[in-house]
């Protein structure tokens, strides 16, 4: 087990260097030039050349790449091109933290609502409640944030005046409610369907029949035998969601005025703010790898049959 985890972790730097290389090459050879963007249409060739030299962008690709990787190893992700005098980490970490909190609340909603609904649908298979739950959830989840966001704003802010329309006050502020719900909604359908399918499969297993035969109550069977086993496929999905926690949602953040990472990433691409793009990519890639490792380890606790 430990050897497995160590082996997986040893791969991480290799993966990151590949990720950095690809992102770096795209930035260097792709269209658009950070120097020209910074100077705008007001530039002239001398000013462009001077600033390019100042920013170190006139050096060969290999030198720039090595320099950057060296910096990252020392924990230095460089300075933003657009926000002068600000380091990349100073810009992205607070926003990732905001996105993480918001996404965590949304994910919790998805799990807390989605799993019981999925199990309920499976339990009522063949009766009207099953298709009702599935159809209802699919309908609701088909509404993108683009629709639900303004709808919620209209109902809860403009008409009912329950909460302010925009802004961020942290995890325990009322302003988190509407965006969290709007972000959670599209994720519900998937989890309900996966949970329903895997519950149905577990319900048909011999050990469940045995449990009934032993005279256990449905509640105990549900919790001890069904839920735990049916949860495994859902866990795989959650792995991706956890990795996505620090990812932003451009639309949600824009509509609700949330200072998350999504908008910064989006703007940085248009501003050719490569250090910021690189920083977000690297941290995102690392989180993805680590979250999946965590999930793989979690399997062994839920299912003793899985060993590494």
Partner 1 sequence: MKTSLRVWLLPVALSVMIVAAGCLGGSKGGRSRGTSTPGGPTPTAQSGARPQPALTPAPGAAKLATSGGTFTRLWADPPTLDPHLTSDTTSAGLVVEIFSGLVALDTDLRIIPDIAERWDVSGGGAIFTFRLRDGVKFQDGKAVKASDLKYSFERALDPRTESPVADTYLNDIVGAQDKLKGLVREVRGVRVIDERTLEITIDAPKPYFIAKLTYPTAYVVDRQNVESGPGWSNKPNATGPFKLLEWVPGQRLILARNEHFYRGVAKLDRVHYILSGGVPMTMYENNEVDFTGVGQAELDRVLNPTEALNKELVRGDPAFDVSYIGFHVDKPPFDDRKVRQAFTLAIDKETIAREVLSSLAVPAYGVLPPGFPGHNPSIRGLRFDPVQAKKLLAESKYGGPGKLPRIIMTVPGTGGTVGLDTEVILEMWKQNLGVTVEIQQTEWATFLQDLNRQRFQMFGGLGWSADYPDPQDFVDILFHSKSFNNHGAYKNLEVDRQIELARTEQDSDRRIKLYQDAEQAVVEDAAWIPLWYTGERFVLIKPYIKGYKLTRLIVPKLKDISIERP
Q: Which residues bind partner 1 (CB under 8 A)?
A: 31-34, 36-45, 47, 50-51, 54, 79, 82-86, 90-91, 94-95, 146-147, 149-151, 153-154, 157-158, 161, 164-168, 250-251, 253-260, 263-264, 266-267, 270-272
Minimum distance, C-beta of residue 230 to partner 1, in the bound complex (Å): 37
> Which is nearest to 101 in space by CA: 2, 45, 177?
177
Q: For residues 36 and 130, which CB has a smaller minimum distance to partner 1 in the complex?
A: 36
Q: For residues 12 and 39, which CB has a smaller minimum distance to partner 1 in the complex?
A: 39
Q: For residues 216 and 250, which CB has a smaller minimum distance to partner 1 in the complex?
A: 250
Task: Name the CA radius of gyration of the chain, rounded.
Answer: 24
Minimum distance, C-beta of residue 81 to partner 1, in the bound complex (Å): 9
Minimum distance, C-beta of residue 22 to partner 1, in the bound complex (Å): 19
CA dihedral 256→259→262→268, nearest 10 degrees, is 130
Minimum distance, C-beta of residue 97 to partner 1, in the bound complex (Å): 11
Angle between helices 274-302 and 261-270 (to 10 degrees): 140
Minimum distance, C-beta of residue 265 to partner 1, in the bound complex (Å): 11
CA 278, CA 299: separation in Å to the nearest integer?
32
CA 38, CA 205: separation in Å to the nearest integer?
63
Minimum distance, C-beta of residue 51 to partner 1, in the bound complex (Å): 6
Contacts of 157 by beta carbon, 8 Å cutoff, 6+ apart: 163, 164, 165, 178
Q: For residues 29 and 128, which CB has a smaller minimum distance to partner 1 in the complex?
A: 29
Q: For residues 114 and 260, which CB has a smaller minimum distance to partner 1 in the complex?
A: 260
Q: For residues 134 and 163, which CB has a smaller minimum distance to partner 1 in the complex?
A: 163
Classify each residue of 242-280 as buried b or exposed e, where b means 16 or more C-beta atoms within 10 Å of its C-beta. Answer: bbbbbbbbbbbbbbbebbbbbbbbeebeebbbbbbbbbb
Q: For residues 118 and 248, which CB has a smaller minimum distance to partner 1 in the complex?
A: 248
Q: CA 151: distance to chain centroid?
A: 24
Minimum distance, C-beta of residue 14 to partner 1, in the bound complex (Å): 31
**Phi, psi for residue 74 in degrees, rounded to 5:** -85, 5
**Phi, psi for residue 33 in degrees, rounded to 5:** -135, 120
């Amino acid at each position: 087990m430990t050897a497995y985890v160590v082996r997986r972790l040893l791969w991480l730097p290799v993966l990151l260097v590949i990720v950095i290389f690809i992102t770096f090459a795209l930035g260097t050879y792709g269209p658009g030039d950070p120097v020209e963007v910074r100077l705008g249409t007001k530039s002239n060739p001398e000013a462009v050349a001077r600033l390019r030299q100042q920013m170190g962008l006139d050096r060969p690709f290999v030198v720039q790449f090595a320099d950057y990787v060296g910096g990252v190893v020392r924990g230095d992700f460089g300075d933003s091109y657009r926000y002068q005098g600000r380091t990349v980490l100073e810009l992205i970490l607070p926003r990732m933290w905001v996105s993480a909190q918001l996404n965590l609340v949304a994910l919790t909603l998805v799990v807390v609502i989605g799993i019981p609904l999925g199990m309920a649908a499976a339990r009522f298979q063949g009766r009207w409640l099953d298709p009702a739950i599935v159809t209802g959830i699919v309908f609701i989840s088909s509404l993108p944030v683009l629709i639900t966001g303004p709808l919620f704003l209209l109902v809860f802010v403009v008409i009912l005046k329950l909460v302010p329309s925009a802004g961020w006050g942290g995890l325990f502020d009322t302003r988190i409610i509407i965006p969290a719900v709007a972000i959670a909604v599209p994720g519900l359908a998937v989890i309900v369907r996966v949970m329903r399918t895997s519950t149905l499969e577990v319900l048909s297993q011999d050990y469940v029949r045995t449990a009934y035969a032993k005279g256990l109550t449905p509640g105990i069977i549900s919790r001890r035998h069904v839920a735990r086993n049916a949860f495994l496929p859902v866990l795989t999905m959650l792995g991706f969601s956890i990795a996505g926690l620090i990812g932003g949602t451009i639309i949600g953040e824009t509509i609700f005025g949330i200072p998350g990472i999504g908008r910064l990433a989006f703007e940085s691409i248009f501003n050719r703010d490569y250090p910021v793009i690189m920083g977000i990519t690297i941290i995102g890639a690392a989180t993805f790898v680590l979250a999946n490792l965590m999930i793989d380890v979690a399997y062994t606790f839920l299912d003793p049959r899985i060993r590494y």
